[in-house]
Amino acid sequence: MIDKESCNRLINQYYKEIYNYCYARMNYDKAAAEDCTQEVFVTFFSKHGKLEETSNIRLWLYRAADNVIHAYFRKNDTSAVSIEDSPEAQNIPDRNTPSPDEGSDTLLDMLDDDERRIVEVYYDTDYGDRRSAAERLGLTMPALYQRIHKIKNKIRNVKSKQ
């Protein structure tokens, strides 16, 4: 059995990554993702007596996560659902976005040049063109979306304080 410190260090290193992977594939169910993430690490350490014997821990963890996720769907007789059908995804905050009003120009004015450029890229391109457009900004697609998300939150926070 691997020593406790090594266990803890490895779990800390990969916990978020494996959790995010499980969460993204399990219909945005936080509780299920937490349970499955735990099972991945328990399974990993039950199979690996020595870390040095494992040439690719990350790959093994992802493989184990795939198995755990499939077992979860099989056990719960569920499958991946679309975002529209996912009760968890229904709570995504943009559904409460306020309608534009007279103050909307002010809200956009508070964006800096980078943020404006990012918003332009997102709304001036569709999915097929967005990747290359993002790359011109030095961003990956996921990074672009995270920036859009932050910008949206920024606008919402300002709006709520008005």
Partner 1 sequence: MRKNILNDDNLYSDMLTELQAMLSEELDKPEGLRSYDTIAEITSAIAEISGGAVSDEKAASAADDITASLFANEKRSMINMVSKYLSVISACIIMLIAFNFVSLNSFGANLFDAVVSSRDDGFVIDFSIKNPGSAVTPVNPADDYTLTTGVYATTEGVYATTVVYATTYTTGYAVIPAGTTGSPTEPQYVADTTGAPQNTRPTGSSVTQKSADTNASAPNTTTAPASPAGNPGDTQGSGNVPSATDDPERITIAEHLMRECQYDDFTPCAPIEYDCVDPYIPLTDFSSEHMTDSDDYYFAFSDEEHQVDIIIEKYNDPDDIPQLIIPISEASHWKITGEVGAIYIFHKDDRMCAVFVYDNCVYTITGYNFDESFEDFAVSFRVPIQN
Residue 27 — left, alpha, or beta (φ > 0 → left; ψ -120 to 50 → alpha)?
left
- Nearer residue to partner 1 within complex by CB, 137 or 152: 152
Q: Total binding residues for partner 1 by CB under 8 A?
A: 81
Question: Which of the residues 49 through 78 are near partner 1 (CB under 8 A)?
Answer: 49, 52-56, 58-60, 62, 66-67, 70-71, 73-74
**Nearest distance, CB of residue 114 and partner 1, angstroms:** 14
Window 18 to 47, contacts with partner 1 (CB under 8 A): 19-21, 23-25, 28, 30, 33-34, 37-38, 41-42, 45-47
Residue 84 or 136: the one with the smaller Cβ distance to partner 1 is 84
List for the chain the helix, strand, coil content (%; round to 5): 75, 0, 25
State the Cα–Cα distance between residues 16 and 9, nearest whole angstrom. 13
Q: State the nearest-atom distance from the C-beta of 98 to partner 1, in Å.
A: 8
- DSSP characters over 62-95: HHHHHHHHHHHHHHHT-----GGG-TTGGG-GGG
Restricting to residues 98-117, which ones interact with partner 1 according to CB under 8 A? 98-100, 104-105, 107-108
> How far is residue 117's CA from residue 39's CA, in Å, rounded to a whole number?
43
* Distance of alpha carbon 9 from the chain centroid: 22
Contact between 146 and partner 1 by CB under 8 A: the answer reads yes
- Interacting residue with partner 1 among 12, 157, 160, 162 (CB under 8 A): 12
Q: Hey, which residues between 114 and 143 contact partner 1 (CB under 8 A)?
A: 119-120, 122-124, 127, 130, 140-143
Name 95's Cβ contacts closer than 8 Å, sequence gap at least 6: none
